[in-house]
Chains A and B, each alone.
Chain A
């Protein structure tokens, strides 16, 4: 039996992606995820692809397989991301490339391929991930913040390009959440960042789920090209 929605989430092995996968499985949706390695959870309605989100052939192949199996993709959540906190003068080119590969090119590839599938249904929801580091122009995160600034702008432009097909594109900009992404960041740096938020606390998964799920609702069909930063941060 076809479940209510088919949701494709990138980066489901851990952190926010994993939480979102479990959340939507709990809501009775079919979830398809991907990451470089296998996931540690199992569900009859979850299928997983091991791939690198910036490998074009793998992305095309995955999206085509999903479209063939389910006949549609209702929601794309471009969650896969990587961060590296470092001064620009000390950032290796290989790190810059890796960050842009995952955060920017991965988001662009999945958007392009999944939107082709969504076009057939004349509706779809795409949710991208940016960060408060972009809005705050956070020192020590120049490359990461720049990659997420690219995602923010990509969100706004693709929202216009895909609107004629009934596809909305929005982004959420989380504050730091206790995940692997920030585990190596010194505590005082995190505290400095939190001090610049209107609401001074770390984010939790539920904060992000709440915004993502708002964008995903059928009733959000008039909401597109928007970025919601959490914690009271403005761009």
Chain B
């Protein structure tokens, strides 16, 4: 899976959640996921992370986004769509898939 494919999954999961919640926000790689100006609250972030895992699993890619690496990174991989795309892409290609 290349980076564009990963981005498509993440943008898809996020857009679907925002639509469901009636939140009108453009989703691109600069979209902020946590902190000030974030499009998601904490429960929204949890929901989207799990949905991304599920969508990847449907493509037979098993990645755990609740890994030590994800949770302990000094700079959170969940800070923006772009950062998350990079993190997930690295996870897949580093063979960290479960």
Taking beta carbons and an 8 Å cutoff, which residues of A are in contact with B? Answer: 57, 60-61, 64, 112, 116, 119-120, 164-165
CA distance A201 to B47 in the complex (A): 45
* Docked-complex contact B47 and A119, CB < 8 angstroms: yes
Determine the distance from Cα of A165 to Cα of B98 in the docked complex, in whole angstroms. Answer: 25
Chain B positions 1-46 with a Cβ under 8 Å from a chain A Cβ: 43
Top 5 closest A-B pairs, CB basis? A116-B50, A60-B98, A164-B43, A119-B50, A57-B98
Is B90 at the interface (CB under 8 A from chain A)? no
Query: Which residues of chain A come closer than 8 Å to B47, judged between CB atoms?
Result: 119, 165
Q: How many A-B residue pairs have CB under 8 A?
A: 16
Which chain A residues lie closer than 8 Å to B54 at the CB level? 116, 120
A61 and B98 within 8 A (CB): yes
Size of the B side of the interface (Cβ < 8 Å), in residues, is: 10
Nearest to A116 among chain B residues (CB) is B50
Secondary structure call for the B interface: helix
Q: With A116-B50, A119-B50 given, is the CB distance from A64 to B43 under 8 Å?
A: no
Which residue on chain B has the smallest CB distance to residue A164?
Answer: B43
Which chain A residue has the least Cβ–Cβ distance from B64? Answer: A60
Q: Which residues of A contact B64 (CB under 8 A)?
A: 60
- Taken residue by residue from 86 to 98, chain B's Cβ proximity to chain A (1 for < 8 Å, 0 otherwise) reads as 0000000000001
Given contacts A60-B64, A64-B62, A164-B43, contact A116 B53 (CB under 8 A): yes
Q: How far is the CB of B70 from chain A (nearest CB, A)?
A: 14
A60 to B96, CA, bound (A): 14
> Within 8 Å CB of A61, what residues of B?
98
Chain B nearest CB, measured from A77 CB (Å): 22
B 50-98 contacts with A by CB, 8 A? 50, 53-54, 57, 62, 64, 66, 98
